């Protein structure tokens, strides 16, 4: 059996490299008993990148090896050493490759020009070393971030040739012979049907424009169509899609068909019906026809019979040609150049995948759909799940067994507005909050609660305080205040990042809670625009 040499659709499974871990390290010097933190950042994981390349004609390589990944970033090290970034994995694909999500419903990118690139799977971020977490209040940070772990994603790739003129015709009509005559392409020509099994492109000179610029016309030789192709007959609809992005359609009609029941007028009807059934839009394209094999006596006779009928069929032109004698080829070349130039003027050079949002022909270069930053979903069991890549990344990257890291995370979550979103979603004190693999007890700052609830809470606290005071007078037993940190915590300070009261309390890690000492006056951490955070100056 012949092995496949052309593949025009495939599914790939791609994954960026994981980020390298940040390092926890302290300077060691003679005569200096306790040096400052000097753990460097981990490197970024490599991306998986798709690049359109005009020298690649098929998705065969990816079809054969569909699992691809970037290399991992290296870990950071002491003495402030940053780990090396992981290498990108570059996947070259043919120009005209459409990238969809796994189930094929959404077009994510359309690579329509040589050199165009998209990141198919991003590598993970490198974790920051402990240097990054040192500040005035945390002089000895005993934690660093782990590198971001990234997940595999599956994408569907589909090649849709981009050509100016698509040749449409029955098997053996003479399409490949025509392309051989018009361009430098050399597709196989044989006397039996379905010689051409894969589409081919050829480039021809189609005359000059008014200002003398040569018009290069790309022709697509598409395998033969027969009645029922749209239902999968013959080579089927697999190849019909290669006509979708052709500006102009050229019907190649056999003037000397072997089958006595066929003639060019009925052939044209059959071809148009298949095009209509595949995609009615196709019939809106400019169409012209050639009658082939005019060198044969039968062909000449048939042409005389049929020409009038074809001229009435709404075609832009009907041209009699012979690939053997070269008759009519110059006229064909000239007419194709003319119509293609007209169409380029009208619709632009390239047709991108239609389902990119209502006729929006812009090329999409981002493969990660914009998603809301933070989203909260309530589970039937009553817990609240916080979704959002950024927030989940924070949780995944921080060592939650480290009390310092937990306090740092709490401040970060609060500043990112996660607490507010949770309250809006209905979460209240004591509810379970799940982020990634960690479960937290929700303990919001009362200032984030709706006004009436806050008033009720403060009233209850005041009442408890009064009761406590009264009971003290009575000499009765101590009653713990409702809030773990008592009334003297500054509830109004929205930036109190390191105070337990400022956000959720990690339950699993069993480190936060009333007995963790809060620093005196925590300085708000400054956050850089890409979400990375720097804790002020590094103290050494
Ligand atoms: N006499 C004559 N024969 C031709 C002409 N064009 C094509 N043929 C012959 O017709 C047969 C089919 O030609 P192809 O060019 O392979 O036809 P095709 O449309 O590409 O066929 P498929 O690839 O099978 O769809 C070959 O034997 C050619 O030599 C022509 O202009 N004159
Ligand atoms: Mg052919």
Q: Give the H/E segment covering residue 108.
A: strand 107-111
Token pair belonging to 375: 């989203």
Token pair belonging to 244: 């979708």
Per-residue pLDDT tens listing for the chain (540 residues): 444 567 788 999 999 999 999 999 988 877 766 778 999 999 999 999 999 988 888 888 898 899 999 999 999 999 999 999 999 999 999 888 989 888 877 888 888 888 888 899 999 999 999 999 988 888 888 899 999 999 999 999 988 887 889 999 999 999 999 999 998 877 888 888 777 777 878 888 887 777 777 788 888 888 888 877 777 676 666 778 888 888 899 999 999 998 889 999 999 999 999 999 988 989 999 999 999 999 999 999 999 999 999 998 889 999 999 999 999 999 999 999 999 988 888 876 554 444 444 333 333 344 555 556 788 899 898 899 998 888 889 999 999 888 888 888 888 888 888 888 888 888 888 889 999 888 888 887 777 777 777 787 778 778 877 776 665 544 444 333 333 333 333 333 333 333 333 334 344 433 333 333 434 333 444 444 444 444 433 333
Residue with tokens 């002089």: 139
Say which CATH superfamily domain 163-347 falls into: P-loop containing nucleotide triphosphate hydrolases (3.40.50.300)
Residue 85 is predicted with a pLDDT of 97
If you take atom 6 of ligand 1, which residue's CA is the nearest one? 174
The number of the ligand nearest the C-alpha atom of 292 reads 1
Q: Around 373, how many Cα atoms within 13 Å sit in the side-chain half-sphere?
A: 8
- Contacts of residue 301, Cβ cutoff 8 Å, sequence gap at least 6: none
Ligand 1 atom closest to the Cα of residue 224 is 25
> Ligand 2 centroid to 308 CA: how many Å?
27
Length of the chain counted residue by residue: 540
Q: Which residues line ligand 1 (CB under 6 A)?
A: 169, 171-177, 189-191, 193-196, 223-224, 292-293, 295-296, 322-324
Burial of 263 (0-12, 13-18, 19+ CB in 10 A): middle
Sketch the domain layout of the chain as residue ranges: 1-160, 163-347, 375-534
Residue 372 is predicted with a pLDDT of 62
What CA–CA distances, in Å, run from 165 to 168, 184, 249? Answer: 9, 15, 6
- Alpha-carbon torsion, ordered 298, 301, 305, 309, to 10 deg: 70
Which among 167, 174, 292 is the best mutation to test ligand 1's pocket, defined by most ligand atoms within 8 Å of the CB? 174
> Is the four-CA dihedral 484, 485, 487, 491 of positive or negative sign?
negative
Q: How is domain 1-160 classified at the architecture level of CATH?
A: Distorted Sandwich (2.70)
CB 95 within 8 A of CB 113: yes
- Contacts of residue 436, Cβ cutoff 8 Å, sequence gap at least 6: 392, 395, 396
> Ligand 1 centroid to 486 CA: how many Å?
91
Residues measured by CB to lie within 5 Å of ligand 2, the ion? 175-176, 195-196
Token pair belonging to 518: 């809060």
CATH of domain 375-534: 3.30.300.350
Residue 102 is predicted with a pLDDT of 84
Residue 12 is predicted with a pLDDT of 95
Q: Determine if residue 226 is left, alpha or beta; phi over 0 gives left, psi from -120 to 50 gives alpha, anything else beta.
A: beta
């Amino acid at each position: 059996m012949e092995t496949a040499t052309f593949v025009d659709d495939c599914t790939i499974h791609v994954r960026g490299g994981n980020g390298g871990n940040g390092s926890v390290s302290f300077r060691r010097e003679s005569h200096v008993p306790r040096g400052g933190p000097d753990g460097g950042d981990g490197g970024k994981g490599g991306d998986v990148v798709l690049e359109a390349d005009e020298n690649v004609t098929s998705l065969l390589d990816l079809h054969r090896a569909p699992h691809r990944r970037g290399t991992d970033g290296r870990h950071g090290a002491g003495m402030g050493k940053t780990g090396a970034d992981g290498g990108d994995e570059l996947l070259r694909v043919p120009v005209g490759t459409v990238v969809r999500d796994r189930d094929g419903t959404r077009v994510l990118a359309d690579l329509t020009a040589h050199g165009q690139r998209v990141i198919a799977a991003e590598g993970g971020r490198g974790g920051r070393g402990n240097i990054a977490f040192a500040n005035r209040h945390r002089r000895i940070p005993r934690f660093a971030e782990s590198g971001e772990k990234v997940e595999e994603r599956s994408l569907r790739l589909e090649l849709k040739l981009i050509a100016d003129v698509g040749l449409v015709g029955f098997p053996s009509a003479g399409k490949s012979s025509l392309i051989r005559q018009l361009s430098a392409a050399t597709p196989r020509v044989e006397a039996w049907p379905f010689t051409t099994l894969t589409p081919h492109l050829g480039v021809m000179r189609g005359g000059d424009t008014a200002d003398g610029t040569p018009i290069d016309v790309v022709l697509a030789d598409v395998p033969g169509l027969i009645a029922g192709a749209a239902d999968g007959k013959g080579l089927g609809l697999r190849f019909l899609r290669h006509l979708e992005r052709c500006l102009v359609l050229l019907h190649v009609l056999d003037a000397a068909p072997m089958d006595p029941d066929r003639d060019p007028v009925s052939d044209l009807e059959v071809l148009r019906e298949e095009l209509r059934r595949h995609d009615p839009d196709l019939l809106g394209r400019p169409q012209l026809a050639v009658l082939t094999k005019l060198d044969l006596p039968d062909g000449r006779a048939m042409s005389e019979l049929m020409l009038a009928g074809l001229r009435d069929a709404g075609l832009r032109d009907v041209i009699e040609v012979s690939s053997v004698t070269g008759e009519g080829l110059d006229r064909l070349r000239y007419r194709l150049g003319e119509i293609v130039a007209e169409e380029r003027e009208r619709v632009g050079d390239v047709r991108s995948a239609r389902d990119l949002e209502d006729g929006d022909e812009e090329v999409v270069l981002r493969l990660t759909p914009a998603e809301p930053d933070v989203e909260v979903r309530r589970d039937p069991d009553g817990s609240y799940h916080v979704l959002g890549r950024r927030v989940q990344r924070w949780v995944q990257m921080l060592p939650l067994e480290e009390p310092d890291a937990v306090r740092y995370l709490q401040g970060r979550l609060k500043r990112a507005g996660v607490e507010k979103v949770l309250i809006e979603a209905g979460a209240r004190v004591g509810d379970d909050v799940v982020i990634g693999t960690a479960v937290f007890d929700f303990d919001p700052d009362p200032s984030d609660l709706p006004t009436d609830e806050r008033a009720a809470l403060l009233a209850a606290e005041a009442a408890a305080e009064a009761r406590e005071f009264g009971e003290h007078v009575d000499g009765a037993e101590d009653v713990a205040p409702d809030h773990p940190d008592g009334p003297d915590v500054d509830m109004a300070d929205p930036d109190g990042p390191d105070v337990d009261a400022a956000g959720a309390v990690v339950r699993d890690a069993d480190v936060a809670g009333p007995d963790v000492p809060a620093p005196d006056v925590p300085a708000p951490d400054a956050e850089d625009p890409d979400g990375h955070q720097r804790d002020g100056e590094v103290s050494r």
